[in-house]
Amino acid sequence: MEYLKVNVEDHIAVISINRPPANALSSEVMKGLSFILDDVENNENVRVLVLHGEGRFFSAGADIKEFTSLRDESDYAGLAKAGQEVFERMEQFPKPIIASIHGAALGGGLELAMGCHIRIVSEDAKLGLPELQLGIIPGFAGTARLPRYIGFARAAEMFWTSDSITGLEAVSLGLANHAFKEENLLNETLKIARKIALKSPITLAATIELLNLSKRESFQDVVDREAELFAKVFSTEDSVEGIQAFLQKRKPHFKGK
């Protein structure tokens, strides 16, 4: 936890990466992130997570010095698998995770951001997977996720040229949701997080499950599961509260029950 800190306010856990100068993702940072996920998953006071980097960058990539200290192929495979597992857990996490990206999200930094459910960027942020420039390839599922967001051909170009894109380009390609001036980025991200945090935690978890199912299952499998969750959600106290609030023309107050 030396390089990560968490602040919880308004049902939002803001996770800050603070590992100068570039917020490189060492195995220690990854373990700390996994620990935080353990801590907040069952914390009823946390409904949304926001991940951002302190200083000049979101994260400029994995810790290359740590890479060069490994000895054989099994060590490298183990490191890649460990990172993939953390990012996959983030993608499957039952609470929305938003990446707030400024400066640069490169290599492992972009792979971290792609493990989040939503990406909000500064207009001039740099996003890319430049590993081929170093004679290596992405190892934290970047080759699986980037084409899913921006398409095969554009992802191939980014891999092979090692060129990065700006925050504005990321929005136009569907990799990011919104772009803001850097000085407004975190505040604008928190506005979106607060809007999400007003929803029932039960419905947030249900939609995350269905969105992830839609990536790998057939249309029929997804709608079948949707019907099951639709029925379960209707039996909750939050469903009663939401419908009553609508009929009474007031804001609902969800308890996650």
**Cα–Cα distance measured from residue 31 to residue 37, given in angstroms and rounded to the nearest whole number:** 10
Read off the pLDDT of residues 111-156 as tens digits, 9 standing for 90 and up.
Answer: 999 999 999 999 999 999 999 999 999 999 999 999 999 999 999 9
% of the chain with per-residue pLDDT over 70:
100
60 in Cβ contact with 66 (< 8 Å): no
pLDDT band per the 50, 70, 90 thresholds, residue 2: confident
β-pairing, 97-101 vs 48-53, is parallel
| Entry pTM | 0.94
- Residue 65: per-residue pLDDT: 80
First to last CA, the chain: 31
- 238-244 contact pairs (CB < 8 A, 24+): 238/200, 238/201, 238/202, 238/203, 239/200, 242/200
50: helix, strand or coil: strand
**Cα–Cα distance measured from residue 164 to residue 127, given in angstroms and rounded to the nearest whole number:** 5
Burial class (CB in 10 A: 0-12, 13-18, 19+), 68: exposed
Q: What's the Cα-to-Cα distance from 162 to each of 105, 108, 138, 156, 159, rounded to whole Å?
A: 13, 14, 11, 10, 5
229 in Cβ contact with 210 (< 8 Å): yes
- Residue 238: per-residue pLDDT: 94
- Residue 72: per-residue pLDDT: 82
Question: Hey, which residues are catalytic here?
Answer: 111, 131
**Cα–Cα distance measured from residue 6 to residue 212, given in angstroms and rounded to the nearest whole number:** 26
Other CB atoms within 10 Å distance of the CB of residue 27:
14
